[in-house]
Amino acid sequence: MTDTKRYFDPWTKHTHLTFTVKQFYESFETPYQTIDVFEAEDFGTVLALGGVTNVTDRDESGYHEMLTHVPLLAHPNPKRVLIIGGGDGGTLREVLRHPEVARAVLVDIDGEVIRVARQYFPQCAVALDDPRAEVIVGDGLAYVEVAAAQGEHFDVILVDSTDPVDAAVELFTETFYRHCAKLLGDHGILVPQSDSPTFYLSRVTDVYRKLSGIFRHTSLYMGQVTAYPGGVWAYTAASQTIDVRLNTQRNDRIARLEPQLRYANGDFIQAAFALPTYVKRALAGEPGLNLPALGDDPTEFDV
């Protein structure tokens, strides 16, 4: 919800992040979602999708670097990478920092996200025209299903989606994850963004449990994203043969990459797998010290 000087991002029914807006650039509806782009005090340019903060100048690097570099550094030779969602281009930018990558396919259902990224987030969109990149405006779920049926292969799949509401719901299903597993084979790695462990722990555990039922190795890790609910975000790494926790030890690839990064580094990546007690217990299905479970759906908030 907006007024002329403020923009409200509902974290829950009772708590929201309020931006002080310096200038609104665009606000419009697509067939898939509402898109808002504005300049905010403290955060710079902000992209909100469906009324929820997606990208800010201030903290986009934290999200994109942790989603990307943890699995790509864990994989011994990530030549082919698939990004589902991520139309802002930030994840693609991070993927193509890896010289091993020969082909990166980005599939986003909403071409308007790509357009506004090019216009307002050039630091994210810089890789959209890289010759190694193939950018497709289309349904990521359908792309994965067709590619799996045709026997295609990827080394890493990154799911850079919005939260599991509206068009993104199908990207959090077991069916989608099984198609991803087929594309990855025995030696690939899947990482979907997995939501807020502070406010939406049930979403985090749902992703983890679904992937644990499909892949032999499943690990949760976390990082800071200031403008996302709670300021801490979860990611789930899954593979049939690669234990991502054990494959992110400091090496020459990390050392070469670190000078290019704003947020991630080798020590931080290793530490990201250390989880708070309430999260560990929730993943194990144990009762006890979990934070209160919140099941509110932001699309139903009246703020």
Catalytically annotated residue among 59, 108, 160, 195: 160
Q: CB neighbours of 276 closer than 8 A, spacing ≥ 6?
A: 197
Question: How many other CB atoms sit within 10 Å of the CB of residue 75?
Answer: 20
Question: How many other CB atoms sit within 10 Å of the CB of residue 22?
Answer: 12
Distance of CA 144 to the CA centre of its chain: 17
Helices (H), 75-195: 90-95, 111-120, 122-125, 140-149, 174-184
Q: CB neighbours of 102 closer than 8 A, spacing ≥ 6?
A: 79, 80, 132
DSSP summary character for residue 247: S
SS3 85: strand
User: In which order are the strands placed within the sheet that holds 189-192?
Assistant: 133-137, 103-108, 80-85, 156-160, 189-192, 232-239, 217-224
Which amino acid is present at 22?
K
d(CA 221, CA 66): 9
160 catalytic? Reply is: yes
Active site residues: 160
